[in-house]
Amino acid sequence: MKILFKAGRIVNCDQEKVCDLLIEDKKIVAIADEIDADDALVIDARGLLVMPGFVDMHCHLRDPGYEYKETIRTGTMAAARGGFTTIACMPNTNPVVDNKVVLEYIKSKAVREGVVNVLPIGAITKGLNGEELSEMGELKENGVVALSDDGKSVMNAGLMKRALSYARMLDMLVISHCEDVNITGEGVMNSGYMATLLGLKGMPAEAEEVMISRDAILALHTGARLHIAHVSTKISTDIIRWTKKMGVNITAEVTPHHLSLTEEEVDGYNTDTKVNPPLRTREDIMALIDGLKDGTIDCIATDHAPHGIQDKNVEYARAAFGISGFETAFSVINTYLVEKKHIDYKDVVRLMSTNPAKILGIDRGYIKEGAVADIVLVDPEAAYVVDKNKFYSKGKNTPYDGKVLKGVIKMTLVGGKVVYNSEEGILC
């Protein structure tokens, strides 16, 4: 089947132009000012953005083991609605993705039920217990794109050094959840005035910053590729900036919620604001934005963390950490960053498509002739009120519920196939 986008604003990380785009046999076959294709499905893209499909290198699909929170089917449906065409899922499932059997389950189920491309991430340590390294070579041979104990830090520095050393030999990316649990303790929100005012235990920023420093030093000495997950503080950003200048092979990500919401959102004890790392301060947000602009922080990742209502409908201290992020990611970035002139749409592509694809080592994230037709069509001017009850994700845990956001995903294509459009919903 041929699909022809007419007069769309094609946006790449380094250029944008209004023109036509023709898709055939899963590939982009032509980009030109005027294209005629009588046998093609013609889509009027005037006034719309045609972007490379978003690549999310950090999400949680909960399957296997926590299907009441999310399944591969519902998670990939939510991803498609959010404009994501490739997602990398973390290994903190039950059982953990630390062996070939669980890995094959995820891969086969993603093929059968998935709406978008699913790339599994394997565990650094067996069972995420931080005691014994997983069989990294076996995991790589069977298709993992990175290693992570996300949700937990590898607290043993010697073990983390060995993990980075082996990862270096295998040319594997290590994604680090940086949190010194001896510092965070039983904290549930950012440490500071708001935590004191609300009577909640705080999670100090230094818990993140200390571990970033440690892992960056270990990466320097081992030569490993290190990626820092969900950066949330000003000092963390400064540390990453400094270590990059030192030549450390380090990349980093930030989430939409850490770029848009502060600790003040916790006022009222809305458990949908409970996330790890916690929502920080306005000063931290501005530092993170500066980090995006100067290349210190390489990409935006959702850390999509869906939960069942029973996980969140409890008192704040007992609630699970996490925000359901697929379906609001682009509109949050558009509303809080693009509309406020912090970044432009070329930056959005760089941060949400090109760079995460490059870090993961996959051939995605750019619109050009011959490329796989993973594409998202966006109306940047359309505004809507977030309604969590309309989420495809089983996780309705969003702090944006009821907020007005600007920017609507009109259509998502994976391999030249329309898998979602805003009028008909999921199409496969």
- 5-18 average pLDDT score: 98
Q: Where are the beta strands (DSSP E) in 81-234?
A: 84-89, 117-120, 147-148, 173-176, 189-190, 202-203, 225-228
User: Does position 428 have pLDDT exceeding 90, yes or no?
Assistant: no
Q: Is 307 annotated as a binding residue?
A: yes
Mind listing the domains of the chain with CATH numbers?
2-50+372-426 (2.30.40.10), 53-360 (3.20.20.140)
Catalytic residue among 303, 311, 347, 374: 303
Taking residue 238's Cβ as centre, other Cβ atoms within 10 Å add up to: 16
Question: Minimal CA–CA distance to 177: which of 99, 60, 270?
Answer: 60
Q: Which amino acid is at 172?
A: M
- 104-118 average pLDDT score: 98
For tokens 């073990």, the residue is 159
Cis omega (within 30 of 0) for bond into 277: yes
Q: Is 416 annotated as a binding residue?
A: no
Task: Give the pLDDT band (50/70/90) at residue 38.
Answer: confident
Amino acid 70: pLDDT: 98
Amino acid 333: pLDDT: 99
Cβ–Cβ < 8 Å for 291, 351: no
User: Does position 356 have pLDDT exceeding 90, yes or no?
Assistant: yes
User: Does position 1 have pLDDT exceeding 90, yes or no?
Assistant: no
Cβ–Cβ < 8 Å for 322, 397: yes
Amino acid 107: pLDDT: 98
Query: Is the full-model pTM beyond 0.95?
Result: yes
Catalytic residue at 298?
no
Question: Minimal CA–CA distance to 366: which of 110, 31, 34, 1?
Answer: 31
Amino acid 394: pLDDT: 98
Q: Is 92 annotated as a binding residue?
A: yes
Q: Is 258 annotated as a binding residue?
A: no
Q: Is 227 annotated as a binding residue?
A: no
Cis omega (within 30 of 0) for bond into 95: yes
177-216: pLDDT as tens digits: 999 999 999 999 999 999 999 999 999 999 999 999 999 9
- 55-75 average pLDDT score: 98
How far apart, in whole angstroms, are the C-alpha atoms of residue 46 and residue 255?
Answer: 30
